[in-house]
Amino acid sequence: MDWTIPKFPLDTLSDEGLDWLTDHGSWLTRAVSRHVADWIDALTSALVAVPPWILIGAAALATWKVGGRRVGLLTLFGLLFLWNLRLWQATVETLVLVVLATAAALVIGIPVGIWFALSRRAWRIFSPVLDMMQTLPSFVYLIPALPFFGLGAVSACFATIVFSVPPVIRLTALGIRNVPAELVEASDAFGGSSAQKLFKVQLPLALPTIMAGVNQTMMLALSMVVIAAMIGAGGLGRVVWQSIQRLEAGAGFEAGIGIVILAVILDRATQALAARARPHGTA
């Protein structure tokens, strides 16, 4: 007797759900898309209009102040090298997308992480969702972005936000939960309100862990922006994608080195910020 278990129609349900969301929500996403596209274009145009040596000098000074001489020199010579490779326009486009996506992810992720830290029920309910988001292949995030926002940088930006937000949620919640109970109890004993306890005790002590989440979010945003070149995003990822299509190994290698340089600069700068946020006397 030959019989099989019917297949659960996950693909059909997903298609129908996406179609319903597109039909009923595309008016909103298209309006948002136009505004975000304007912001991306305006910021990119403004930065490109500034002479590169001015931006490079400003970035080197800023990272020197934050992370010391080594990080400042790394930024200076790394960006000068990208300028020399004629990749400055692509570098600026990549930076704009990474910064905007990271900022949006932090605006969403930090409050959600605070909520998860203060509500164990919310953490138990949504923790599996974060697990799923962090294990899905990055390419999957590009699929739902296209029907809502179309091809281009806006889809890349929103896919990047969704892809990169879980680490800052997790580490914000972890940092607040790891604040010593004695300090929380002392705040309660002195009559501190919930807001005072959060903003004067828990968040300051959790800041190094939150900054580690910022670092991870920025690195994931950079990796996703590069992958999103397949749906029309610009920047260094587009150079890599075009070099693959044209079998231009040299151009692809140059853009790949550019991505590595940018990743190292951003990583060292955010790590330095995390170190500065660490309370004195802690390891």
What pLDDT digit, counting tens, does each position of 3-44 carry?
Answer: 577 777 777 777 777 777 777 666 777 777 777 778 888 888
For residues 237 and 211, give the distance between their C-alpha atoms in angstroms, rounded to a whole number: 26
Number of residues written out for the chain: 283
pLDDT bucket at 255, cuts 50 / 70 / 90 = confident
Fold of 13-277: MetI-like fold (1.10.3720)
pLDDT value, residue 231: 78
Q: How confident is the model over 129-158, as a mean pLDDT?
A: 79
| 157 within 8 A of 40, measured Cβ to Cβ | yes
Nearest to 79 by CA among 68, 91, 69: 91
Percent of the chain scoring above 70 in pLDDT: 95
76 vs 185 pLDDT, higher one? 76
pLDDT value, residue 76: 93
- pLDDT of 156 over the 90 cut: no
**DSSP assignment letter at 198:** I
For residues 149 and 153, give the distance between their C-alpha atoms in angstroms, rounded to a whole number: 9
pLDDT digits (tens, 9 = 90+) for 66-116: 888 898 999 999 999 999 989 899 999 999 888 888 999 999 999 999 999
| 255 within 8 A of 243, measured Cβ to Cβ | yes
Question: For the whole model, what pTM was predicted?
Answer: 0.83
pLDDT value, residue 281: 46
For residues 40 and 48, give the distance between their C-alpha atoms in angstroms, rounded to a whole number: 12
The tokens of 108 are what?
Answer: 């969403």
pLDDT value, residue 278: 65
- pLDDT of 283 over the 60 cut: no
Residue 42 CB-density burial (10 A; 0-12 exposed, 13-18 middle, 19+ buried)? exposed
pLDDT value, residue 3: 59
Domains of the chain by residue range: 13-277
> In whole angstroms, what separates CA 193 from the centre of its chain?
33
Enumerate the H helices of 119-202 as residue ranges.
Answer: 120-135, 142-149, 153-177, 181-189, 194-197
Q: What is the mean pLDDT of the chain?
A: 83
Least trusted range by pLDDT, from 87-96, 159-168, 226-235 = 226-235
The tokens of 271 are what?
Answer: 């790590």
For residues 155 and 37, give the distance between their C-alpha atoms in angstroms, rounded to a whole number: 10
Q: Does residue 8 come out as left (phi exceeding 0), alpha (psi in the -120 to 50 range) or beta?
A: beta
pLDDT value, residue 54: 92
